[in-house]
Homo-oligomer: A and B are copies of this chain.
Protein backbone atom coordinates (compact mmCIF):
# COMPACT_ATOMS: atom_id res chain seq x y z
CA UNK A 1 0.00 0.00 0.00
CA UNK A 2 1.64 3.12 -1.17
CA UNK A 3 -0.96 5.84 -1.44
CA UNK A 4 -3.68 7.15 0.82
CA UNK A 5 -7.28 6.16 0.24
CA UNK A 6 -9.82 8.61 -1.13
CA UNK A 7 -13.16 9.48 0.40
CA UNK A 8 -14.99 7.43 -2.24
CA UNK A 9 -12.92 4.38 -1.42
CA UNK A 10 -13.53 4.87 2.30
CA UNK A 11 -17.27 4.92 1.63
CA UNK A 12 -16.91 1.48 0.08
CA UNK A 13 -14.59 0.18 2.80
CA UNK A 14 -17.05 1.36 5.45
CA UNK A 15 -19.97 -0.62 4.00
CA UNK A 16 -18.27 -3.74 2.65
CA UNK A 17 -16.87 -6.21 5.16
CA UNK A 18 -13.49 -7.90 5.24
CA UNK A 19 -12.83 -10.98 7.33
CA UNK A 20 -10.76 -10.05 10.40
CA UNK A 21 -7.71 -12.26 9.86
CA UNK A 22 -7.86 -13.95 13.25
CA UNK A 23 -10.99 -15.65 11.85
CA UNK A 24 -8.61 -17.77 9.76
CA UNK A 25 -8.43 -19.98 12.84
CA UNK A 26 -11.87 -21.44 12.07
CA UNK A 27 -12.38 -24.10 9.37
CA UNK A 28 -15.76 -22.55 8.62
CA UNK A 29 -15.98 -18.80 9.00
CA UNK A 30 -18.58 -17.85 11.63
CA UNK A 31 -21.58 -16.07 10.16
CA UNK A 32 -20.96 -12.35 10.20
CA UNK A 33 -17.20 -12.66 9.62
CA UNK A 34 -17.20 -13.89 6.00
CA UNK A 35 -16.17 -11.16 3.58
CA UNK A 36 -19.02 -9.27 1.98
CA UNK A 37 -19.06 -7.10 -1.12
CA UNK A 38 -22.38 -5.55 -2.12
CA UNK A 39 -22.18 -3.72 -5.44
CA UNK A 40 -25.37 -1.73 -5.01
CA UNK A 41 -27.74 -2.09 -2.04
CA UNK A 42 -28.79 -5.26 -0.26
CA UNK A 43 -32.31 -5.60 -1.71
CA UNK A 44 -35.38 -6.20 0.42
CA UNK A 45 -37.04 -9.39 -0.80
CA UNK A 46 -40.51 -10.65 0.10
CA UNK A 47 -40.07 -14.44 0.11
CA UNK A 48 -43.81 -14.94 -0.43
CA UNK A 49 -43.96 -13.19 -3.79
CA UNK A 50 -40.40 -14.06 -4.83
CA UNK A 51 -40.00 -16.52 -7.72
CA UNK A 52 -37.01 -18.01 -9.47
CA UNK A 53 -37.58 -17.78 -13.21
CA UNK A 54 -35.72 -20.15 -15.52
CA UNK A 55 -36.16 -19.05 -19.11
CA UNK A 56 -34.47 -18.25 -22.42
CA UNK A 57 -33.25 -21.19 -24.51
CA UNK A 58 -35.03 -23.87 -22.50
CA UNK A 59 -37.79 -26.28 -23.48
CA UNK A 60 -39.72 -25.97 -20.22
CA UNK A 61 -39.46 -22.55 -18.56
CA UNK A 62 -39.81 -22.72 -14.78
CA UNK A 63 -41.17 -20.33 -12.20
CA UNK A 64 -40.40 -21.67 -8.74
CA UNK A 65 -41.27 -20.61 -5.22
CA UNK A 66 -38.60 -20.88 -2.56
CA UNK A 67 -40.34 -23.95 -1.18
CA UNK A 68 -40.23 -25.54 -4.63
CA UNK A 69 -36.51 -24.87 -4.88
CA UNK A 70 -35.96 -26.32 -1.41
CA UNK A 71 -37.95 -29.44 -2.30
CA UNK A 72 -35.46 -30.37 -5.03
CA UNK A 73 -32.28 -32.43 -4.66
CA UNK A 74 -29.90 -30.81 -2.18
CA UNK A 75 -26.18 -30.85 -1.54
CA UNK A 76 -23.97 -29.06 0.96
CA UNK A 77 -20.56 -27.76 -0.05
CA UNK A 78 -17.83 -26.11 2.01
CA UNK A 79 -16.55 -23.36 -0.25
CA UNK A 80 -13.79 -20.81 0.18
CA UNK A 81 -14.84 -17.65 -1.62
CA UNK A 82 -12.60 -14.69 -2.35
CA UNK A 83 -13.30 -11.34 -3.97
CA UNK A 84 -11.56 -10.84 -7.30
CA UNK A 85 -10.46 -7.45 -5.97
CA UNK A 86 -8.69 -8.91 -2.94
CA UNK A 87 -5.21 -7.36 -2.73
CA UNK A 88 -6.23 -4.28 -4.73
CA UNK A 89 -5.06 -1.75 -2.11
CA UNK A 90 -1.51 -3.05 -2.45
CA UNK A 91 -1.20 -2.12 -6.12
CA UNK A 92 0.95 0.74 -7.34
CA UNK A 93 -0.21 2.82 -9.18
CA UNK A 94 -3.30 2.99 -7.03
CA UNK A 95 -6.55 1.50 -8.42
CA UNK A 96 -9.72 3.25 -7.22
CA UNK A 97 -12.44 0.82 -6.11
CA UNK A 98 -13.17 -1.23 -2.98
CA UNK A 99 -9.76 -1.10 -1.24
CA UNK A 100 -9.20 -4.64 0.00
CA UNK A 101 -5.80 -5.37 1.51
CA UNK A 102 -5.91 -9.20 1.83
CA UNK A 103 -9.02 -9.90 3.93
CA UNK A 104 -11.75 -10.38 1.26
CA UNK A 105 -12.23 -14.10 1.86
CA UNK A 106 -14.24 -16.56 3.89
CA UNK A 107 -15.30 -20.20 3.97
CA UNK A 108 -18.92 -21.23 4.38
CA UNK A 109 -21.07 -24.34 4.17
CA UNK A 110 -23.59 -23.59 1.45
CA UNK A 111 -26.62 -25.83 1.02
CA UNK A 112 -28.71 -25.78 -2.11
CA UNK A 113 -29.79 -27.52 -5.28
CA UNK A 114 -27.36 -28.30 -8.11
CA UNK A 115 -27.65 -25.84 -11.01
CA UNK A 116 -27.05 -28.68 -13.47
CA UNK A 117 -30.10 -30.58 -12.20
CA UNK A 118 -32.35 -27.56 -12.56
CA UNK A 119 -31.10 -26.89 -16.07
CA UNK A 120 -31.71 -30.53 -17.00
CA UNK A 121 -35.24 -30.21 -15.65
CA UNK A 122 -35.86 -27.12 -17.77
CA UNK A 123 -34.34 -28.83 -20.82
CA UNK A 124 -31.66 -26.51 -22.15
CA UNK A 125 -31.78 -26.12 -25.93
CA UNK A 126 -28.84 -27.40 -27.95
CA UNK A 127 -27.87 -23.91 -29.12
CA UNK A 128 -27.47 -22.50 -25.60
CA UNK A 129 -23.89 -21.58 -24.68
CA UNK A 130 -24.24 -19.74 -21.38
CA UNK A 131 -26.67 -19.09 -18.55
CA UNK A 132 -27.16 -15.51 -17.35
CA UNK A 133 -27.77 -15.18 -13.61
CA UNK A 134 -29.62 -11.98 -12.74
CA UNK A 135 -29.90 -10.64 -9.20
CA UNK A 136 -32.35 -8.20 -7.63
CA UNK A 137 -29.67 -5.67 -6.67
CA UNK A 138 -30.03 -2.56 -8.82
CA UNK A 139 -27.66 0.36 -9.26
CA UNK A 140 -25.73 2.57 -11.64
CA UNK A 141 -22.22 1.71 -12.73
CA UNK A 142 -20.31 3.18 -15.64
CA UNK A 143 -23.32 5.46 -16.32
CA UNK A 144 -25.44 2.35 -16.92
CA UNK A 145 -28.43 1.49 -14.74
CA UNK A 146 -28.47 -2.25 -14.23
CA UNK A 147 -29.43 -5.26 -12.22
CA UNK A 148 -26.28 -7.13 -11.24
CA UNK A 149 -25.92 -9.97 -13.73
CA UNK A 150 -23.17 -12.41 -14.69
CA UNK A 151 -23.09 -15.38 -17.03
CA UNK A 152 -21.43 -18.77 -16.73
CA UNK A 153 -20.60 -21.10 -19.61
CA UNK A 154 -23.04 -23.98 -19.93
CA UNK A 155 -20.32 -26.61 -19.90
CA UNK A 156 -19.03 -25.20 -16.60
CA UNK A 157 -22.52 -25.53 -15.11
CA UNK A 158 -23.33 -28.98 -16.45
CA UNK A 159 -19.95 -30.46 -15.60
CA UNK A 160 -19.33 -28.55 -12.38
CA UNK A 161 -20.60 -28.34 -8.86
CA UNK A 162 -22.38 -24.99 -8.88
CA UNK A 163 -25.44 -24.79 -6.65
CA UNK A 164 -28.34 -22.46 -5.98
CA UNK A 165 -27.93 -22.00 -2.24
CA UNK A 166 -30.67 -21.15 0.28
CA UNK A 167 -28.72 -21.94 3.46
CA UNK A 168 -25.32 -20.94 4.81
CA UNK A 169 -23.71 -22.59 7.84
CA UNK A 170 -27.01 -24.35 8.58
CA UNK A 171 -29.32 -21.33 8.58
CA UNK A 172 -31.41 -19.64 5.86
CA UNK A 173 -29.37 -17.10 3.92
CA UNK A 174 -29.29 -13.78 5.77
CA UNK A 175 -30.11 -10.73 3.62
CA UNK A 176 -26.48 -9.80 2.99
CA UNK A 177 -25.57 -13.23 1.61
CA UNK A 178 -28.32 -13.25 -1.01
CA UNK A 179 -31.65 -14.12 0.62
CA UNK A 180 -33.59 -16.03 -0.51
CA UNK A 181 -31.36 -17.71 -3.11
CA UNK A 182 -27.87 -17.24 -4.54
CA UNK A 183 -25.53 -18.91 -6.94
CA UNK A 184 -22.36 -20.50 -5.54
CA UNK A 185 -19.73 -21.50 -8.09
CA UNK A 186 -16.96 -23.33 -6.19
CA UNK A 187 -13.41 -22.32 -7.06
CA UNK A 188 -14.35 -19.07 -8.80
CA UNK A 189 -13.86 -15.55 -7.57
CA UNK A 190 -16.94 -14.29 -5.77
CA UNK A 191 -18.34 -12.01 -8.50
CA UNK A 192 -19.68 -15.07 -10.30
CA UNK A 193 -21.74 -16.28 -7.35
CA UNK A 194 -24.65 -13.90 -7.99
CA UNK A 195 -26.73 -13.07 -4.90
CA UNK A 196 -30.49 -12.34 -4.60
CA UNK A 197 -31.16 -14.45 -7.67
CA UNK A 198 -34.29 -13.70 -9.65
CA UNK A 199 -33.64 -15.30 -13.03
CA UNK A 200 -31.60 -17.87 -14.92
CA UNK A 201 -31.67 -17.28 -18.66
CA UNK A 202 -30.09 -19.71 -21.12
CA UNK A 203 -28.65 -17.73 -24.05
CA UNK A 204 -27.29 -18.72 -27.44
CA UNK A 205 -24.49 -16.18 -27.52
CA UNK A 206 -22.10 -14.91 -24.87
CA UNK A 207 -23.70 -12.36 -22.54
CA UNK A 208 -22.11 -8.93 -22.75
CA UNK A 209 -23.63 -7.20 -19.72
CA UNK A 210 -21.60 -4.58 -17.86
CA UNK A 211 -20.21 -7.04 -15.30
CA UNK A 212 -18.89 -9.25 -18.09
CA UNK A 213 -17.84 -6.69 -20.70
CA UNK A 214 -16.39 -4.01 -18.43
CA UNK A 215 -15.82 -5.27 -14.89
CA UNK A 216 -13.91 -8.36 -13.86
CA UNK A 217 -11.46 -8.44 -16.75
CA UNK A 218 -7.69 -8.42 -16.58
CA UNK A 219 -6.53 -5.43 -18.62
CA UNK A 220 -3.13 -3.81 -18.89
CA UNK A 221 -4.60 -0.64 -20.34
CA UNK A 222 -8.04 0.94 -20.24
CA UNK A 223 -8.93 0.11 -23.83
CA UNK A 224 -7.70 -3.49 -23.85
CA UNK A 225 -10.43 -6.03 -24.37
CA UNK A 226 -8.81 -7.96 -21.54
CA UNK A 227 -9.28 -11.51 -20.28
CA UNK A 228 -12.25 -12.49 -18.10
CA UNK A 229 -11.53 -13.41 -14.50
CA UNK A 230 -12.54 -16.94 -13.62
CA UNK A 231 -10.97 -19.11 -10.93
CA UNK A 232 -9.16 -18.02 -7.78
CA UNK A 233 -5.40 -17.97 -8.01
CA UNK A 234 -3.54 -19.66 -5.16
CA UNK A 235 -3.22 -17.61 -1.99
CA UNK A 236 -2.24 -18.28 1.60
CA UNK A 237 -2.73 -16.18 4.69
CA UNK A 238 -1.38 -16.40 8.22
CA UNK A 239 -3.47 -16.52 11.36
CA UNK A 240 -1.92 -13.40 12.94
CA UNK A 241 0.43 -14.68 15.67
CA UNK A 242 0.62 -13.15 19.13
CA UNK A 243 -1.31 -9.99 19.91
CA UNK A 244 -1.84 -6.78 17.92
CA UNK A 245 -0.93 -3.18 18.49
CA UNK A 246 -4.26 -1.37 18.09
CA UNK A 247 -3.40 1.22 15.45
CA UNK A 248 -0.51 -0.27 13.45
CA UNK A 249 -1.84 -3.86 13.72
CA UNK A 250 1.81 -4.87 14.19
CA UNK A 251 1.98 -8.24 15.94
CA UNK A 252 3.74 -8.73 19.28
CA UNK A 253 4.94 -12.30 19.92
CA UNK A 254 6.66 -13.65 23.02
CA UNK A 255 10.05 -15.30 22.31
CA UNK A 256 10.09 -19.09 22.22
CA UNK A 257 8.19 -21.80 20.40
CA UNK A 258 5.48 -20.28 18.24
CA UNK A 259 3.23 -22.30 15.98
CA UNK A 260 2.61 -20.40 12.76
CA UNK A 261 -0.73 -21.36 11.27
CA UNK A 262 -2.69 -20.35 8.25
CA UNK A 263 -4.92 -21.32 5.35
CA UNK A 264 -4.25 -21.78 1.65
CA UNK A 265 -6.53 -22.20 -1.33
CA UNK A 266 -6.62 -22.23 -5.12
CA UNK A 267 -9.62 -22.45 -7.39
CA UNK A 268 -7.47 -23.81 -10.20
CA UNK A 269 -6.12 -27.00 -8.65
CA UNK A 270 -5.48 -28.60 -5.27
CA UNK A 271 -2.96 -26.94 -2.98
CA UNK A 272 0.27 -28.88 -3.35
CA UNK A 273 2.38 -27.02 -0.81
CA UNK A 274 2.85 -23.98 1.38
CA UNK A 275 6.19 -22.40 2.22
CA UNK A 276 6.77 -19.98 5.07
CA UNK A 277 9.41 -17.30 5.47
CA UNK A 278 10.30 -15.41 8.62
CA UNK A 279 12.78 -13.12 6.85
CA UNK A 280 10.57 -11.34 4.32
CA UNK A 281 11.02 -13.96 1.62
CA UNK A 282 14.80 -14.41 1.79
CA UNK A 283 14.49 -18.05 2.83
CA UNK A 284 11.60 -20.50 2.93
CA UNK A 285 10.57 -23.63 4.85
CA UNK A 286 7.85 -26.11 3.94
CA UNK A 287 4.78 -25.96 6.16
CA UNK A 288 2.76 -29.05 7.06
CA UNK A 289 -0.46 -28.92 5.04
CA UNK A 290 -3.59 -30.79 6.17
CA UNK A 291 -4.72 -33.45 3.73
CA UNK A 292 -8.26 -34.10 4.85
CA UNK A 293 -10.01 -30.81 5.22
CA UNK A 294 -13.50 -29.81 4.22
CA UNK A 295 -13.11 -31.02 0.66
CA UNK A 296 -11.74 -29.76 -2.61
CA UNK A 297 -13.39 -26.34 -2.53
CA UNK A 298 -12.40 -25.25 0.95
CA UNK A 299 -9.11 -23.80 2.10
CA UNK A 300 -6.52 -26.09 3.69
CA UNK A 301 -4.98 -25.47 7.07
CA UNK A 302 -1.19 -25.39 7.36
CA UNK A 303 1.24 -25.06 10.22
CA UNK A 304 4.94 -24.62 10.92
CA UNK A 305 6.78 -24.41 14.20
CA UNK A 306 8.91 -21.30 14.62
CA UNK A 307 11.55 -20.78 17.28
CA UNK A 308 10.98 -17.06 17.71
CA UNK A 309 14.01 -15.08 18.90
CA UNK A 310 13.72 -11.46 20.02
CA UNK A 311 13.83 -8.98 17.15
CA UNK A 312 11.87 -7.64 14.22
CA UNK A 313 10.55 -10.04 11.58
CA UNK A 314 8.43 -10.07 8.44
CA UNK A 315 6.50 -13.31 8.07
CA UNK A 316 5.29 -14.50 4.66
CA UNK A 317 3.58 -17.59 3.33
CA UNK A 318 3.49 -18.80 -0.27
CA UNK A 319 1.07 -21.37 -1.65
CA UNK A 320 1.44 -23.41 -4.81
CA UNK A 321 -1.14 -25.57 -6.50
CA UNK A 322 -1.03 -28.86 -8.40
CA UNK A 323 -1.28 -26.97 -11.71
CA UNK A 324 2.08 -25.32 -10.97
CA UNK A 325 0.79 -21.89 -9.97
CA UNK A 326 2.76 -20.19 -7.21
CA UNK A 327 2.04 -16.95 -5.39
CA UNK A 328 4.35 -14.19 -6.64
CA UNK A 329 6.43 -12.12 -4.24
CA UNK A 330 5.29 -8.87 -5.85
CA UNK A 331 1.91 -7.90 -7.34
CA UNK A 332 1.31 -7.65 -11.07
CA UNK A 333 -0.72 -4.54 -11.84
CA UNK A 334 -3.90 -4.42 -13.94
CA UNK A 335 -6.50 -1.72 -14.64
CA UNK A 336 -9.23 -3.13 -12.39
CA UNK A 337 -6.89 -4.18 -9.59
CA UNK A 338 -7.93 -7.83 -9.74
CA UNK A 339 -6.42 -11.16 -8.74
CA UNK A 340 -3.44 -9.76 -6.84
CA UNK A 341 -2.30 -12.88 -5.02
CA UNK A 342 1.16 -11.62 -4.04
CA UNK A 343 2.40 -13.06 -0.75
CA UNK A 344 1.15 -11.44 2.44
CA UNK A 345 3.71 -9.74 4.70
CA UNK A 346 3.08 -9.71 8.44
CA UNK A 347 5.26 -7.44 10.60
CA UNK A 348 6.11 -9.04 13.93
CA UNK A 349 8.06 -7.89 16.98
CA UNK A 350 9.33 -10.77 19.09
CA UNK A 351 9.83 -9.65 22.68
CA UNK A 352 12.38 -11.29 24.97
Interface residues of A in 21-38 (CB under 8 A from B): 21-23, 25, 30-33, 36, 38
Distance in angstroms from A86 CB to nearest chain B CB is 10
State whether A246 touches B32 (Cβ < 8 A).
no
Give chain B residues whose Cβ lies under 8 Å from the Cβ of A138: 243
Asked whether A20 is an interface residue with its Cβ less than 8 Å from the other chain, the reply is yes
A226-254 CB contacts (< 8 Å) to partner B:
240, 243-249, 252
Q: CB-CB < 8 A to A140: which residues of B?
A: 243-246, 252
Q: In the bound complex, how far is the Cα of B1 from the Cα of A144, in angstroms?
A: 27
User: Please, which residue of chain B has its CB at the minimum distance from the CB of A245?
Assistant: B140
Q: Which residue of B lies closest to A171 (CB)?
A: B171
- A82 contacts the other chain (CB 8 A): no
- Residues on B with C-beta less than 8 A from A7 are 1, 4-5
Contact B4 A99 (CB under 8 A): no
Q: Give the number of chain A interface residues (Cβ < 8 Å).
A: 57
A6 to B13, CA, bound (A): 13
The reply on A63 being an interface residue by CB < 8 A is no
Cα A41 to Cα B244 with chains together (Å) = 7
Query: Which residue in chain B gives the minimum CB-CB distance to A4?
Result: B4
Is residue A8 contacting chain B, with contact meaning CB distance below 8 A?
A: yes
Q: Does A120 contact B (CB under 8 A)?
A: no
Q: Given the known A-B contacts A15-B103, A139-B243, A246-B140, are A175 and B10 also in contact in the complex, defined by CB atoms under 8 Å?
A: no
A44 on interface, CB distance cutoff 8 Å:
yes
Residues of B within 8 Å of A10, CB to CB, are 1, 5, 13, 89, 99, 101
Min CB gap A51→B, angstroms: 22
Cβ-defined contact, A252 with B13, below 8 A: no
Name which residue of chain B comes closest to A42, CB basis.
B22
**Is A258 located at the chain interface by the 8 A CB criterion?**
no
- With contacts A10-B13, A12-B247, A141-B246 taken as known, whether A20 is within 8 angstroms of B41 at the C-beta atoms is yes
Q: Are A139 and B245 in contact (CB under 8 A)?
A: yes
| Bound CA span A111–B141, Å | 42
Are the CB atoms of A40 and B174 closer together than 8 Å? Answer: no
Say if the beta carbon of A219 comes within 8 Å of chain B: no
Q: Does A100 contact B (CB under 8 A)?
A: yes
Chain B residues positioned under 8 Å from A246 (CB to CB): 39-40, 139-141
Q: A: which residues have CB within 8 A of B?
A: 1, 4-18, 20-23, 25, 30-33, 36, 38-42, 44, 89, 96-97, 99-101, 103, 138-141, 145, 174-177, 240, 243-249, 252
Shortest beta-carbon contacts, A-B, top 3: A4-B4, A32-B32, A141-B246
Interface CB pairs A-B, < 8 A, 21 = A10-B13, A10-B89, A11-B248, A12-B247, A14-B100, A15-B103, A20-B38, A22-B42, A25-B44, A32-B36, A32-B174, A32-B177, A33-B176, A41-B240, A96-B247, A138-B243, A139-B243, A140-B246, A141-B245, A141-B246, A145-B252
